[in-house]
Structure 1
């Protein structure tokens, strides 16, 4: 009788252990990456390709901005925090608790609506537009149209990079703010007078990409820092990332992925950079 009573209890206990084991295994095969919308196309494509090669792995990619990615990976809510900025540059983030994996470089370009009639701006003109000092396109050789500045929201790594390079610590003019590269692209495409900036993977033929001092935001110019508005694409993890997380990041950083997927998605391969940048923004030649 005692054995008969114990048997269901034992079987139930074994079932609980098996379910716990399965849940643990599934969790180990799951990677969640959250943060930078500038990185989103790259991480989504890499995740899709990686899952095709590793069917038991599940990779979830979400935007939300660099600040969101950094805060969530620090608290352990996600496996990877995607960011356009160094963790040291974000207030409230304890960078020493995180590991920085620099997986690519992204260029950022000023864009306007094609009807504005401008192809190039000097560095000073670009600065003064975003400071609100230049208010009409005719002041820089364009049409008689009021300038409408579209900025990214606070917490955006793209905004932080652009303002650090262009405004050099000065406060941008108060303007409409948007949460993502994709939304900015649509607004500028459809609204005469607008100016903003985009990560290069989001550029299309419906917006006008501006050169600055007649320097184009292209691949070669980014690798040498001739085009100065760029940032690393960081994948931050905690100090002890899961094996699946480490393997996924290693996949993105591998030379085959860098030379094919990274370039095809509009980013610069980390292996092609001739310069390097530190968290303070200092750029030096990369050791060979």
Structure 2
């Protein structure tokens, strides 16, 4: 009763930077802290893997394409493919909506599509948050972007297949669908008791057994594979 919890959605980079600086008690992130922070900052943090999130490409309602290969996604998000007719759609210029640098969703999508290849990854617009992508996708024709499964909204846009595989949680658990990330909650090693208690609650049966799936995420216990900080996937 004497504890209040407040949060804000600003992207994984800001979450990690803030918890490392001590301006927040918990920093949420779609990516491992090692990919965003210096080693001396990471050593003072404790990682709690609380869920897994699937992410995938979404297209405007007027787009007829419902399946893209990773190679086609690479072409679109690098600017080499600029018209929907090049991937089996109508003759229309592709509008690419990207997330800003620092976004964990962007980092996960970029790693899945481009791997270690250095590519100029940008779009016609770069948006701050997933909610901004939802809004923009709902009001823009011929557009493509990417979102985590929890932000899919088939009343505004269409989530599409990748390599013929549907973007569903069941396909993430065995890595059939390749675009996914572990959801982290980082705290300081010397976190106070309220912070520790909140993180224990996040890993409790009440959250893992019910709330995680209700919010569109995947319980860690459901995964048949794991992913390390380098992005390598291995059997659990």
Alignment match of 1:192 (pick from 122, 135, 141): 141
Query: Which of 258, 265, 269 is 2:208 aligned to?
Result: 258
Is 1:285 equivalent to 2:235 in the alignment? yes
Question: Equivalences for 1:168-187 in 2 at 5 Å?
Answer: 168=115, 169=117, 170-187=119-136
Whose helix fraction is larger, Structure 1's or Structure 2's? 1
Contact 2:19–2:187 under 8 Å retained in 1: yes
8 Å Cα contact 1:108-1:229 kept in structure 2 = yes
Q: Alignment partner for residue 11 of structure 2, among 65, 73, 91?
A: 65
1:161 to 95, 102, 108: 108
Residue 215 (structure 2) pairs with residue 268 (structure 1): no
SS in 1 for 2:190: coil
Other-structure match for 1:220: 170
The count of corresponding residues between Structure 1 and Structure 2 is: 232
1:135–1:146 Cα contact (<8 Å) kept:
yes
**C-alpha distance after superposition, 1:20-44 (max 9, x if no partner):** xxxxxxxxxxxxxxxxxxxxxxxxx
Runs of 4+ in 1 over 6 A off after TM superposition: none
Moved more, 88-97 or 176-185: 88-97
User: Which residue number corresponds to residue 184 of structure 2?
Assistant: 234
Task: Tell me which of 53, 76, 84 is aligned to 2:22.
Answer: 76
Q: Contact 2:77/2:123 (CA < 8 Å) preserved in 1?
A: no
**How far apart, in 2, do the equivalents of 1:174 and 1:194 lie?**
10
Structure with higher Rg: it is 1
Among candidates 38, 51, 63, match of residue 116 of structure 1: 63
Q: Secondary structure at the match of 1:88?
A: helix
Hey, what's the Cα distance between the residues in 1 that align with 2:137 and 2:23? 34
TM-score under structure 1 length normalisation:
0.78
Following superposition, the deviation at residue 192 of structure 1 comes to: 0.6
Match of 1:11 in 2: none
Q: 1:83–1:233: 8 Å Cα contact kept in structure 2?
A: yes
Stretches of structure 1 that go unaligned for 5 or more consecutive residues are: 1-54
Q: Is the 8 A contact 1:189 1:207 kept in 2?
A: yes
Q: CA deviation at 1:190?
A: 1.1
Q: Deviations over 1:67-112 (max 9, x none)?
A: 1111111111110011111010014462111111010011111000
Task: Provide the C-alpha distance between the structure 2 equivalents of 1:57 and 1:87, rounded to a whole number of angstroms.
Answer: 27
Displacement of 1:116 in angstroms is 1.4
Instruction: Give the superposition deviation at 1:247.
Output: 1.0
Instruction: Encode CA deviations 1:223-274: one digit per residue, 9 max, x unaligned.
Output: 1111111111110001111111111111111123112100000000011111
Q: Secondary structure at the match of 1:56?
A: coil
- 2:82 is aligned to 135
Match 2:151 to one of 202, 226, 231: 202
Structure 2: any 5+ residue segments left out of the alignment? Answer: none
Aligned residues of 1:116 and 1:145 also touching (Cα < 8 A): no
